[in-house]
Amino acid sequence: MKYRILLLLGLAVTYVAPIFAHHSFAAEFDSSKSITLTGMVTKFDLINPHGWIYLEGKDENGKEGKWSVETGNVSTLLRRGWTKESLKPGTEVIIQGSRAKDGSNTINAREVKLPDGRKLFAGSSEGDATPK
Amino acid sequence: MRLRASNTVACVFCAAAMLLPLIGQTPDSKFEPPRLKDGHPNFQGLWKLLGGWGPPDVGANPSPRMSKIEYLPEALAKKDQMLTSGRAEDLVAQCVTASVPRATLEPPYPMLIIQDGANVVIMHEFAHDVRIVPVDGSSHPKNFSALGGDSRGRWEGDTLVIDTTDFRKGIRWLHMGGDFVDENEHSVERYTLIGPDTIRYEVTIEDPTVFAKPWNAKLNIRRQPKDDQIIEGACREGERDLDHYVVDGGAKAK
Amino acid sequence: MKMPSFRRTPTVAATVMFVIGSGAITPAVAQNSKSSNPYTAGRTPDGAPDLRGIWEVHGTINWNIEGHPKQDGIAASKSVIVDPADGKIPYTAEARAKKNAISLADDPQTKCYMAGVPRVTYTPGPFQIFQTDGLVIAVYQDLHTYRYIPTTGKPQMSGAEFWMGSSRGRWEGDTLVVDSVSFNDQTWFDKAANFHSADLHVVERYQLTGPNTLQYEALIEDPKVFTRPWKMRMIAERHTEPGFRILEDECLKDSKGVLSHILPGK
């Protein structure tokens, strides 16, 4: 149990500067434009190079709509305990992330919070970029 | 909660434990590696670069793991143009290949190494890149070019040296910060086991049409836990980002 | 190499071998004798049967595993399905109707997607089998696809669906048996839109029938699509040309945005 805590804290510590390891981030997302989405999952594709959570809901300004939320890739998510069953259609989630530069309802996720309070780190930036 | 104090201690401990290997320490005494039947060191297993590699390493204050990258003036202009409007041309964004040495370095993903005496086979997760590197003393072929170049391995004592040249015409990004190489890349990688679970990886890159002089990086690659395995890295099949790329100024990328 | 068990004169047999070697027909006939003349494989340094080397299934199976006439300059091919005996895939009625409605232009292989199993075996191009202690690796030239096949009894990967599935190997005598699950439903068995669901389960058997011939069988099970399991069988031949190796195969868009495979150049 103590080892698991150390491991989890180690993972938490190493996850800094996520932007730099994401191959498409700068071309696609704006890290200064944060978003909090509250909604219901309609589909979850656990695929590469990024997983995709499709949901219907609203952002922090109350804007309703259909959203496409990008996560890390299959091996990153599997190694963090996600499976293709982690987000069944109908699951209510709260997602923190960054907005797309092209104005579409496309988000790069940092964190996905489940109804039971558990947080899944979305690993949208692959690898463990350690702080310098 | 009783956990609070130990959280802080654990956090500091973890930070220190994670950072120390990054400084690039090598052990004082020579490590005696496990060996294959042919006597060469056994590198087989699942490995991953420790830490990331990319913009934090390069730039104005490069990390101690890298020597300074100096561009030729026209190459530097090319780099700026690529960062501004050329991201969609990155072969990694297109899910084609991460090429050499990026497949090992960035983001990074795990890699599987096997050896059969005549070859060292390195398999990467991203875009399922594969390098079948002959260690049979053969030379680079004539009249040959490929996206991943041609790699030939040789042993210098217990160090595996992989020499790669003959890259296909065109630009390959080294990481998403825009450093790049072209068809004149010549890379020399050196893999040395410095502990049961650590490979010392040194790569020297020269490219006379991009860099004013060769540069190098010295990094550690760590063995993954025994219950882990290499996981399929399909990429092209699920690529949904390129449609959202914009160039500076907000216009859609090609 | 042992001769097939059915009676033929040496001259006819030689002609059959020549025709097979030239890739003009699929050698379905010569393969029916698999159990009658087992060949004892050599051993790897770890003591496992030695299937290592560079192999290739010649012919045009990839166009239609149920067989097809000569078309568009592509040589004809007989069905590689050995069970059921009529050489036809035993679709449910619903699945057969679905198959007939699929557009051939939707072939995932034309988008340079990974071939899946067993299609990767007979997609044109060589593959190389590597073996190390407790592990078989197959590297296919097609899109530099590789398969990780541990023989240590490690549990299958689950929790996601993969283009090449999750594979686990075991030895039965000199035969490598590879059990694969956790597929997605995206791959086809050939260009003719023969398809499966994500419940696909494939059991392959790799067995040397001579120093340079590797018999390959794939048992296909998918109760969502087929009325029963069915099996294909074919021969892969060893590449013995000096210096032959798997080459890089990348898929790139040309200036018009059309994808094509690019092998190493000058």
Could you give the angle at which helices A2-14 and B3-19 cross, rounded to 10 degrees?
60
CB contact under 8 A, A78 and B52: no
Q: Provide the whole-model pTM.
A: 0.87
Q: How high is the pLDDT of residue C7?
A: 43
Residue of chain B minimizing CA distance to C182 = B232
Are residues B96 and C154, on separate chains, in Cβ contact within 8 Å? Answer: no
CA atoms within 13 A on the CB side of C211: 2
In a mutational test of the B interface, the residue from C248, C249, C254, C260 whose CB has the highest number of chain B CBs within 10 Å is C248
| Cis peptide bond N-terminal to B108, omega within 30 | yes
Q: Which residues contact C100 (CB under 8 A, 6 or more apart)?
A: none
Q: Could you tell me which chains touch chain B, where touching means 3 or more CB pairs under 8 A?
A: A, C
pLDDT in tens, C63-119: 999 999 999 899 999 999 999 999 999 999 999 999 999 999 999 999 999 999 999
A47, A83 contact by CB (below 8 A):
no
Q: What is the pLDDT of residue C20?
A: 45
The residue ranking higher by pLDDT, C1 or C211, is: C211
Count of domains in chain A? 1
Average pLDDT over residues C193-218: 98
Report the chain A residue with the minimal C-alpha distance to residue C158.
A83
DSSP C109: G
Q: Which residues pair with A34 in a beta bridge?
A: A98
Q: Is residue A77 part of a domain?
A: yes
List of residues 6+ apart from A110 with CB closer than 8 A: A18, A96, A97, A98, A121, A122, A124
In which region does residue B59 sit, left (phi positive, over 0), alpha (psi from -120 to 50) or beta (all else)? left
Helix (H) or strand (E) holding C206: strand C201-210
Domain count, chain B: 1
pLDDT at residue A31 is higher than 60: yes
Query: Distance from A29 to chain C by nearest Cα, in Å?
Result: 25
Residue B56 has pLDDT above 60, yes or no: no
CATH H superfamily, domain C42-262: Calycin beta-barrel core domain (2.40.128.20)
- Across the interface, whether the CB atoms of A127 and B63 are under 8 A apart is answered no
Task: Tell me which residue in C113, C154, C265 faces B168 most closely, judged by beta carbons.
Answer: C265
pLDDT digits (tens, 9 = 90+) for C143-197: 999 999 999 999 999 999 999 999 999 999 999 999 999 999 999 999 999 999 9
B207 assigned to some structural domain: yes
Q: How much is the pLDDT for C254?
A: 86
Dig out the tokens for C114 from the structure: 């990974």
Inside any domain, residue B254: no
Subunits with 3+ C-beta pairs closer than 8 A to C = A, B
Whether the CB-CB separation of C198 and C185 falls below 8 Å is answered with yes
Domain-located, residue B49: yes
Q: Where are the domains of chain C?
A: 42-262
List all residues 6 or more positions away from C158 whose beta carbon is below 8 Å from its beta carbon.
A83, C166, C181, C182
Answer whether residue B93 is part of any domain.
yes
Looking at the domain assignment, is residue B117 inside a domain?
yes
The whole-angstrom distance between B44's CA and the closest CA on chain C is 9
Q: B108 at the A interface (CB within 8 A)? A: yes
Residue A121's pLDDT band, with cuts at 50, 70 and 90, is: confident
User: With 70 as the cut, is the pLDDT of residue B254 above it?
Assistant: no
Taking phi first (over 0 means left), then psi (-120 to 50 degrees means alpha), and beta for anything else, what does residue B159 get? beta
Touching A (3+ Cβ pairs <8 A), the chains are B, C
Q: Quick one: average pLDDT of C236-261?
A: 94
- Residue B22 is assigned to a structural domain of this protein: no
B104 pLDDT exceeds 90? yes
Residue A130 domain-assigned (yes or no): no
Q: Count Cβ atoms within 10 A of the Cβ of residue A2 and give its class: 0-12 exposed, 13-18 middle, 19 or more buried.
A: exposed
User: How many Å apart are CA C87 and CA C31, to the nearest integer?
Assistant: 14
**DSSP letter string over C61-91?**
GGG-TTEE--BTTBPPEE--EEESTT----B
Q: Residue B104's domain spans which residues?
A: 29-244
Q: Nearest by CB to B116, which of C113, C132, C150? A: C132
Q: Which two tokens stand for residue B225?
A: 């836990």
Does ipTM come in above 0.85?
Answer: yes
Is B18 domain-assigned? no
Is C131 in contact with B116 (Cβ distance < 8 A)?
Answer: yes
Whether B134 has a pLDDT exceeding 50, the answer reads: yes
Q: Is the confidence at residue A127, as pLDDT, over 50?
A: no
Task: Answer whether residue B16 is part of any domain.
Answer: no
Handedness of CA B26, B28, B30, B32 (dihedral sign): negative
CATH number reported for the structural domain that contains residue A114 in this entry: 2.40.50
A79: closest chain B residue by CA: B228
Beta strands in chain A (DSSP E): 29-45, 52-58, 64-70, 92-100, 106-113, 119-121
Containing domain of residue A91, as a range? 2-121
Confidence tier at A27 by pLDDT (50, 70, 90): confident
Average pLDDT, chain C: 90
Using pLDDT thresholds of 50, 70 and 90, give the confidence band for residue A128.
very low
Phi-psi region of C182 (alpha: psi -120 to 50; beta: other; left: phi over 0): left
Chain B closest CA to C110's CA: distance in Å?
12
DSSP structure class, residue B19? H
* CATH of residue B44: 2.40.128.20
Q: What is the pLDDT of residue C255?
A: 84
| A50, A52, A74, best to mutate vs chain C, most C CBs in 10 Å | A74
Q: Which residues does residue C220 pair with via DSSP β-bridges, in sequence order?
A: C202, C230
Contacts of B20 (CB under 8 A, 6+ apart): none
With beta carbons under 8 A apart, name residues in chain C contacting A78.
157, 159-160
- Closest Cβ–Cβ partner in B114, B128, B168 for C145: B128
Who has greater pLDDT, A65 or B4? A65
pLDDT (tens digit, 9 = 90+) per residue, A53-109?
999 999 999 999 999 999 999 999 999 889 999 999 999 999 999 999 999 999 999
Hey, are the CB atoms on B231 and A47 less than 8 Å from each other? no
